[in-house]
Each structure stands twice: as C-alpha cells, then as structure tokens.
Structure 1
Amino acid sequence: MTPIDREEAARRAADELLKPGYKKEALLDQAWRHFQQFVGDLMDAATGSGTTGGVISAIVITLIISGVIALVVWRLRKSSRMNAAAPDGLFGERTMTAAEHRQAAERLAAKGDWTEAIQERLRAIARDLEERALVDGMPGRTADELAAEAGQALPGFADELTAAARSFDDVTYGAEPGTRQAYEAMSGLDERLRQARPVPLAGSPLGSTS
C-alpha cells in the first residue's frame, strides 16, 4: 500500500466529513481542529524544511505558545482579583487608604447617605488598623473577622468592634437603613481607635517592666 502524506490524508478526511451521513461539526470543535492542524503544519515545516523556514516557523510557534500562556495568566489574575473581592468582604477592588475611606464617609454623611457612610467608616477603621499593623491585611475579610481579630489586639474595644461589625452587616446585607445615630457611633469609635494602643503580649518588650 502506497503511503500518503499529511496533505493527502487531510484531503481524504475532509472528503469523508462532507458525506451526508456525518453531522455538522460544532464551530468550536472545527476551530480547534484547524488550530491543531495549523500548529502541526508549522511543526512539520520547522523540522522538515530549510534552515530559514525552520527558524521562522519556530519563531511563530513560540509566539503562539507565549500568547496562549499570557492569556491563561491574565485569566488567572482576573479570577484571583474577583475572588479577593469576596461578596461578604469589607473592601471592593480598588485599594484606598484609611484617610480616603474616612473622607468618603464624611462626604456621604454630609449628604445624609447614612448607609454608605457607615460602610465607608468601618472600612476606614479596618484600613487604619491594617496600616498600624494591628490586624493582618487579609483579602476578602468580613466585618465579623475584623472585629474578632482587632478585639484581640484591643480587648477594651472588643464589644464596640462587634457592635460596629453588626451595624455594617445590618445595612449591607440585612437591608436595614443606616441612621445618623449609627454613623456617629461608628465615627466616634473610629476616632478613639486611632488613639488606642494595643495590649502588649506577655513576655514581650512592651509588656516587661523595669
């Protein structure tokens, strides 16, 4: 039996698929098949043609593979960012400082947007504690997680932090409207937390006495 080359095999396969007995190939499958055939042709050219053609084919293959890798990395990074901004988390995608969250809260409060003002004020508290290294900068942190961790560093504020987290959850997920009273309580807590110092751990230099 006489051997056939790649082109003849592809032609025969195409003729076979054109017969009425075959179902129409899905567009995605067809595109993938053409891509595989294209890469296969390039590989054949790189290994079977002259030096110049082989170099050009190798460059094209490298560019294609690099493009695919870049696309996969981009998708993974996008997915990672979306996961970091968890639905129950305090923060969105944009990173803001404590001062920026505080200013945003004050602007919202001035307009009477108490719900969003409360949210921004707790974000200011969370970011301020992160900037002072009193809590870890954990992506997707919830208000309850913030209160629990901050309450360990500042036990004197544990109850107020829990109440602040509950207030945030009520207006964010509980569909309860924010109020001036709730915002002022959050604002007062923020100001006092800014002046607070953590309780030193036992045995640490801050906890030792002279």
Structure 2
Amino acid sequence: MIGPNGAGKTTLLRLLLGLSRPTAGSIRRRPGLRLGYMPQRMQVDSSMPMSVERFLELGQPGISRAEADAALARVRAEKLRRASLADLSGGEMQRVLLARAASRKPQLMVLDEPTQGVDVSGQAEVYQLIAALRDELGCGVLLVSHDLHMVMAATDHVLCINQHICCHGHPEQVSRDPAYLELFGDKLAPYTHQHNHAHDLSGDILQNNGRCNHDHDRQGDE
C-alpha cells in the first residue's frame, strides 16, 4: 500500500485490524484469521524495565523461551533476548517488532513502514527478512511503504491511495496509471535489485569479504 503523507494508509490498516471503528461502510474479515501486526513506530518509556524476551511474551501469551528464541533467530536478533527495549537502536527495535509479529505464526502479516528508523544500509536487510518470513510461514504480507523502488520491484499487487483508492494492480500496471503518475511523477520506474549479502544488527556486512555488491537494472531513475 502506497500513498502520500496523510493519504490514510495507517488509518486503513487500523480499520482492517479492528483497532479503529469505521464511521461508514463495513469490513469483512475471515473468521479465525491469525494476524501478525508490526506498527509504524513504538514509543518506549526509558524508565520501563522491560526486556525483549518479556515483550515477546506479552505479545504472544504462552510463548515458550524456545519459541521466543526461534522468533528472534528468524530475524537474526537472538543476541537481543535479554536486552532492554529502551536501549535498542531503531534497527534493532524494528527487528524485534518483526519477530513479535511473526511469533504468532500468522496467516497474514500486516507491516506499517517496517523500515521506519532503520538506516539505509539496513533497510534492504529488513525487506530480505520479510521475504524469508513470508516463505517460511507461508503467509501473506500487507505492507505499507514509502520505498517506491522496493514496492515496484518486489511486490505482487500495489494499492495506491490518497483518501480513496487511486489505482491498484500489478506494479508495472500501476506505474503507468495516470493517478499514480499524478502523485509520484514518471521518474521512478521498476527496477530489480540483487542483494547478495547480509548485515548484522549494526548494519555491517556479514559476508562477501565486507563488500556490498548490488546488481541494479534501473529505468528512468535520477
């Protein structure tokens, strides 16, 4: 889901999740649908003594220590289990929130700006983790993002909104739609990106001899 600031993306997600009530219309949700939700941001009181492990337990009552460890391992954040939430960096917090969403073994993960607060070197890694979780859990992913390159290169269906549905469909179809072009212009076209390495929690490269090789195929990018 894409759209300019104030388009209503987060509001729509909250309506779909049942966190807000619609003033008109109706929402139909499959009974028993398991959801994993990752909010856009989370403010943590620096005086609150809560560990990452406890945070995961609150998000998934009854989760065992082994399951919590497995959830963190999925996002390569197992070293953070005993860390305080208040001490986490932006990138670390996003990984923990992603682990929490995935710990429910959802049928649908709902992710609102999952790279919020993550530096550029770590953003591609977060998207890589999301793709891996989707494949491992066999779930769908509903993603809100401002990263138009990623959206156009790596998603199956795009919904463009601006207080209403402007256009939707396959990324290539949407990128040519007049409503999309009116919002974002024509200088941004789909491209493929091969990310052949991994980053640790600080954003450093874990493999490939410390080199970052990217294979870009861009069109119309300035």
| TM-score, with length taken from structure 1 | 0.23
Structure with higher Rg: it is: 1
| TM-score, with length taken from structure 2 | 0.22
Which structure has the highest helix share of the two? 1
Higher relative contact order (CA closer than 8 Å, sequence separation 6+): 2
